[in-house]
Chain A
Amino acid sequence: MFAYVIRRTIATVPVVAIVAVFVFSLLYVTPGDPAAVIAGDLATAEDIARIRARLGLDEPFLVRFAQWAWAAIGGDLGVSIFTNQPVTRMIQQRIEPTLMLSLCTLVITVVLAVPMGVVAAWKAGTWIDRAIMAFAVLGFSVPVFVLAYLLILGFSIELEWLPVQGYTPLSAGIGPFLRSMTLPALALGIVYMALIARITRASMLEVMAQDYIRTAEAKGLFQNEVLLGHALKNAAVPIVTVIGIGIALLISGVVVTETVFAIPGLGRLTVDAILRRDYPIIQGVVLLFSFTYVVVNLLIDLSYTLLDPRIRY
């Protein structure tokens, strides 16, 4: 088991390295002069030369990459072109709201979506099942920002139950914090919920066709004991896997959700960086998000042994 953990962890290193190479080389492979694109239409020749020097575009690719990668391993992601601040510090300043939003979304999603999938599988073929699956298709189709605006329109502007925009940190009290998180987490969570509910249903249906479920029912166990104790437990691995893969949806959604709700997190930082074409920040954020994604999925891989004792390494 321990050897597997080590092996699996080491296996993620090349993946992260490839991401790093890719994110870095984007500057070189895109058509046209990236320095000119970053500088914008009103830039002078000096501006372009300055940006080129800043990004190190004059130096050979490998030299530049080695320097950048070495610094990145030490936590130095370069300096923002626009604010001249270290990218790492800018990320640190913005990370809390994003982390909180993601955690709230994750909790809401799992708490709502897994029971939805279980109920849909249990009542397969009935109108409850159809309603839940209709919700899932809709969830896949309504883009996060459209949903976000509809939620604001309904709950903040018409009903005035919740704040329209803005972020209240946890330090300002749990009540205001939860009020400011509810709509963003819901908007961000819907796609994710749709995904998890669908997989939970499919996975449960597969398990419920097994002989041991029939045996459990024949023993006279209560329906909920069979559903939760036998079926859900055995359906857990695919569900947890898709929760991990779905983090990609969450990360993509964060960028948009923070823009709609004016939350000063990493997503907002990314959008601002795009508008100013501040490439070191974009690089840093993409690298950080991808790294998080890889680590989360590594942890999920390792959790399989806890979820399913039959899996041994």
Chain B
Amino acid sequence: MASITRTGPMKLPSERSKRGPLAVLRRHPTAILGGAILLAMVLVAVFAPFLGTVDPQKVSPIFRLRPPSERFWFGTDLLGRDIYSRVLYGTRVSLTVGIGVAILATAVGLLIGLVTGFIRLADNILMRFMDGLMSVPPVLLAIALMALTRASLENVILAIAVAEIPRVTRLVRGLVLSLREQPMVEAAIAAGSGLPSILFRHILPNTIAPLLVQGTYICASAMITEAILSFIGAGTPPNIPSWGNIIADGRSVFQVKPYIIVFPGIFLSLTVLAVNLVGDGLRDALDPRLARRI
């Protein structure tokens, strides 16, 4: 048992024997599909200027509210801006926010979680605080934070991350508390290892897999939260085209020009779906027992 747990998550024998791209595809078809969509979105975000787009902020009143056509693939909005270009550039915002929040929230949550898992006094104080934070619904917390700061992409990332940190902290703290009781840690202490060595050799490596899965789900929910914030006017500043902003702009004319909302809506849903599928795949591959995050 000890020899298996040393390097982290257990691999089932069948997973070891069946390697190769075809076998992976057969075992996790949905995860591969998600990965493919996600890769496509990353490419769209990176190469947005070269994909037949025009300046997403260019206002041309004579072309306002044009339905999708050969010239304007997704139509134009109230100000005559090209929705295809805006949606493509919006991919950048969503991915930046999703990945930014995931990294920030997991990093800070990991740090606080490690501290609370090891220091009893800090545990009592910090976890009470985290309990309080967790009882504010995440989107509402982000709204309250955004209402007090100037709208910018950095503030959006910060506000959403603050709302996600308590959940990561909980997860890490739980992992640390259970890992501390493992025979390998006891053995390490018996062998005379100091705290840093236990922390970096035994505890940290075992938190990576669950954190990776959790980070993926955080990325998905952060993209939705960004869109919600932008949609209600408390998110990404209006001069940056984000999917939430485009949908917010199209709100007033939705009944006659639904395409303004439908295209960014499809992109948003597809991207979140892709991230969720990758997350589910990662969870199944890395840690089948990890409960899906709420």
Contacts and interface: CB of A to CB of B under 8 A. Distances in A.
A34 interface: yes
A205 interface: no
A162 B183 CA distance: 62
B49 to A, nearest CB: 26
Given A31-B149, A37-B150, A142-B269, A14 B128 contact: yes
A251 B140 contact: yes
A105 B230 CA distance: 24
Contacts of B43: none
Interface in A207-249: 242, 245-246, 248-249
A29 to B, nearest CB: 9
Contact of B294 (A17, A145, A246): A246
B277 to A, nearest CB: 7
A255 B132 contact: no
Interface residues of B, number: 46
B140 A149 contact: no
A294 to B, nearest CB: 5
Contacts of A140: 220, 272, 276
B143 A145 contact: no
Contact of B139 (A21, A152, A255, A279): A255
Interface stretch (B18-26, B55-63, B82-90, B253-261): B253-261
B232 A137 contact: no
A146 B265 contact: yes
A256 B228 contact: yes
State the main secondary structure of chain B at its contact with A.
Answer: helix
Contacts of B30: 137
B239 interface: no
A279 B149 CA distance: 12
Nearest to A27: B148
State the main secondary structure of chain A at its contact with B.
Answer: helix
Given A18-B129, A137-B276, A274 B147 contact: yes
Interface in A277-307: 277, 279, 282-283, 285-286, 289-290, 293-294, 297
B145 interface: yes
Contacts of A251: 137, 139-140
A107 interface: no
B147 A279 contact: yes
B140 A252 contact: yes
B146 interface: yes
Contact of A22 (B132, B247, B254): B132
A252 B138 contact: yes
A143 interface: yes
User: Which residue among B148, B227, B269, B272 has the maximum number of chain A CB atoms within 10 Å of its CB?
Assistant: B148
Given A37-B149, A137-B273, A143-B227, A23 B232 contact: no
Nearest to B228: A256
Contacts of B228: 143-145, 252, 255-256
Contacts of B272: 140-143
Interface string B101-130: 000000000000000000000000000110
Given A19-B135, A286-B140, A294-B135, A153 B258 contact: yes
Nearest to B139: A252
Given A138-B273, A140-B276, A290 B143 contact: no
A271 interface: yes
B277 A145 contact: no
Contacts of A124: none
B77 interface: no
A141 B294 contact: no
Nearest to A138: B273
A183 B220 CA distance: 25
A64 B277 CA distance: 48
B146 A274 contact: yes
B137 A30 contact: no
Contact of A15 (B132, B144, B294): B132
A141 B128 CA distance: 31
Interface string B239-267: 00000000100010011001001100100
Contact of B128 (A18, A142, A152): A18
Interface in A1-35: 14-19, 21-23, 26-27, 30-32, 34
Given A143-B269, A274-B232, A282 B132 contact: no
Contacts of A16: 132, 135
Contact of A286 (B136, B247, B273, B294): B136
B78 interface: no
A66 B84 CA distance: 53
A150 interface: yes
Interface in A241-281: 242, 245-246, 248-249, 251-252, 255-256, 259-260, 270-271, 273-275, 277, 279
7 interchain residue pairs of minimum CB distance? A18-B132, A252-B139, A141-B273, A146-B265, A248-B137, A30-B148, A141-B272
Interface of B: 30, 128-129, 131-133, 135-141, 143-150, 220, 224, 227-228, 231-234, 247, 251, 254-255, 258, 261-262, 265, 268-269, 272-273, 276-277, 280, 292, 294
6 contacts: A22-B133, A26-B145, A146-B268, A251-B140, A252-B228, A293-B136
Given A242-B294, A293-B136, 10 more contacts: A18-B129, A137-B30, A137-B276, A149-B247, A149-B261, A150-B262, A157-B255, A251-B137, A286-B144, A293-B137
